[in-house]
Structure 1
Amino acid sequence: MADSLPTTARLLLVDDEENILRSLQRILRKEPYELETATSGEAALSMMEEQKFDLVISDARMPGMDGPTLLARIKKKWPYCIRILLTGYADVTSTIRAINEGQIYRYISKPWDDEELKLIVRQALAFQFSERRRLALEKLTRKQNKELKALNANLENKVLARTEELKETADMLEAAYTELKQSYVTTTEVFSNLIAKRLPIHKQPNPLVITMVKAFAEYHNLDEDLSRDLSMAAALYNLGKLGWPDELFFAPSDLLSRDQRLEYLKYPVNGEQLLMSLEPLKETARIIRHHQEKWNGYGVPERLQGQDIPYGSRVLRLAVDFIELQYGLILERKVSRDNTLKLIRRYKDRLYDPEIADQFLEVCIEVAPDVEHDDPEILVLDTLRVKPGMVLAKNLYAASGMLLLNEGKELTAPLIDKLASFEKGEPDGYRYTLYVHRPDDEETENKS
């Protein structure tokens, strides 16, 4: 038996409307599934005879054989295939019939929510996997009991059988424990998605913070337990913010009022307290508690200094600051990827562990994301590469935060020269990053 959830599954999508099938395929195409389609109940049954499917999604209303009839026949002949019904709000009768006769896992009302549909499919497959494991374990238990009864006639055989049983039980417990630990990681990432819902889609840091700590752990060969604890801490580091009002949740931390600042500084401890009752998350909670400590001893909640700060907390602080600076969740302005890296270098002996900061910067060369730049129609240039006639796609700020040029400003040769002159006077080698619309002539040249 496998010790982890399956990496793929075979799904059959059934609907007489091609546009619905295409929509379902689009939603599920990035999931680890093999997708097949059928435009009628009869065609679906024919495919079921020839191929094995883990899950079937069927529309309720179709010419000829309708969805409830199809799912009832699948239940009778392939009872372990998960069945989901797509139904309109008015299809109460067919939905009840599908529940009673087809014993469906879920029904999904049209129009559906894409993310909810994907989550339902994942949950259905996880349920199916658990059921298969349970049945396999029951089968194994029955087999072992039968063998044990046969060996009871002989004491020596009985002792040997008992020894073997204990070994198998220990192996099963070890496998179950490994699976449980992985389940905690998966669960924390699910909760991370719920936390992210409080923020706009373009300001959700948790997924990228998770990516950064996993990349760091892999790059520097951290041990399995620490890597797992770090990953879960990255998923849940802002759990303590869930009770905040929107104005506090959305505001950059350097713009908070005195009272808001006091509330802000409590969030690492609040997050730890929410996890205290979960023994497997004990070390994760400790990492979260101290991830706002500073290397120089002026952080929260305990003003720990240097090596007294837990190692995982020092790594998490770097990942959180790297992503949140780019998202504009720390400073009033968003900081470009390159300038974020410069800020980490600048403060690596005050805010961050210098050694870990250098290791983190090594990782950033390969995998660090630029959260601002995901549009192929926007170029990211420095002052040496911009040309007259280019138009700014984003506001340009000086190192002090002062607005230099507005989005939509067309660059001229004298303006570019003036920017280069201002840049030379910026502290600590600060360099301007300009986001400009790709010129039409460049698009034409690239296409040709």
Structure 2
Amino acid sequence: MTKDLTKGNETKAIISFAIPLIIGNIFQQLYNIADSIIVGKYIGASALASVGSSFTIIVFLTSIILGLCMGASVVFSQCFGAKDNAKLKSSIFTAFIFIGLITIIINLCAIFFTDNILIFMNTPQSLFNDVKQYIIIIFYGISFTFIYNYFCCLLRSVGNSFIPLVFLIIAAIINIVLDIVFITVFNLGIAGAAYATIIAQGISGISTAIYCFIKLPEIRFKKCDLKIDIKILKLVANYSLLTSIQQSIMNFGILLIQGLVNSFGVSIMAAFAAAVKIDSFAYMPVQDFGNAFSTYIAQNKGAGEALRIKKGVKSSFKIITLFCIIISAIVVIFSKQLMTIFISPSEVEIIAYGSQYLCIVSVFYFLIGYLFMFYGFYRGIGSTNISILLTIISLGLRVGISYWLAPTFGITAIWWSIPIGWLIADIVGISFIKKFVRNINK
């Protein structure tokens, strides 16, 4: 099942394609949220801090793989929009080999340098062994992350955002059940949460790959298709590496912030771990909307539909603004109640710090919503270098302000650095889009 996003009403096309992505990512987030809730409730605040600290490292490494897959999917979408099936087949095979080899290298390096990574992250000695135990198990499942993200990006590039959702729902349910069984029944502690996650990831990844091989004619290869086309390799590498750089810069900045947060002690670490989960879950729909928007832009670029791209930009601004106003109000009003999902109500200090973070950052969700839209737009038209620039501005300011002001003004400086980074990046991003729209009008 594929979907041509170059036809029909622009707003309906984007929303109908984005909804399965959003629902799917809700279940994707349940992997880590389930770990955090069960670990926080049944093991304690220290274990929650360990999982939260590990999460930042894991997201950084997997973001490199995700960025490679997302970049390759832009090539797939453009070929699909242009109806060039031969080039599509060649790019699918070439990208799989290319990204697969990089994944193997990342996996080996991550396992070999685990201690060095944890020392760089200022991991407290009291948590060091727990964090290492959890993270090593997750690292062994990185290949499943590649398989799942590659085939999901392939499906989405040809307009199918529903099937990845189905496999994610199944995997999320398995993950939650295994979390409960491994932690509360078998008493495996933090390791049980890690085992539950990689088993669920493995199931979703392998299931998605099998579906693609059975249902997608685009990957029914003949012998003549199983070769690396150097020209296409350069094209895929260009898109993939630039997108991966953008994703890794984004998450490396977050990694540096996590290192700074770790220096404030276990209570702040636990508060940050819970608040960031709520934060990322709240604005996750606009992140997925940006990814759907990227596919919409890429297909229409391949089809030469510049006016349709302009209309899609206008519709997206309205949708993002409305959603973010609603979700910001919910998070501000219920910030303390949301924190108690992850931590016992008796942990008053942790809840207070987490609630403070949410009340500052959530007011500005519309800024990150626009930024995700800009990322999708520039990735879709092939100007990934602009996405990288926006990421450097956003995260560079966030890290710089945090490290500069936190020693004087405390943890609050880290919270305020986040919307400031979003705002400046948005100003730059919108100036480039205005230039693009002016060219269309001419």
- Fold conserved (TM > 0.5)? no
Question: Which structure carries more strand by proportion?
Answer: 1
Question: Which structure carries more helix by proportion?
Answer: 2
Measured against the shorter chain, the TM-score band is: under 0.3
Which of structures 1 and 2 has the larger relative contact order (alpha carbons within 8 angstroms, sep 6+)? 2
Which of 1 and 2 has greater Rg?
1
TM-score w.r.t. structure 2 length? Answer: 0.26
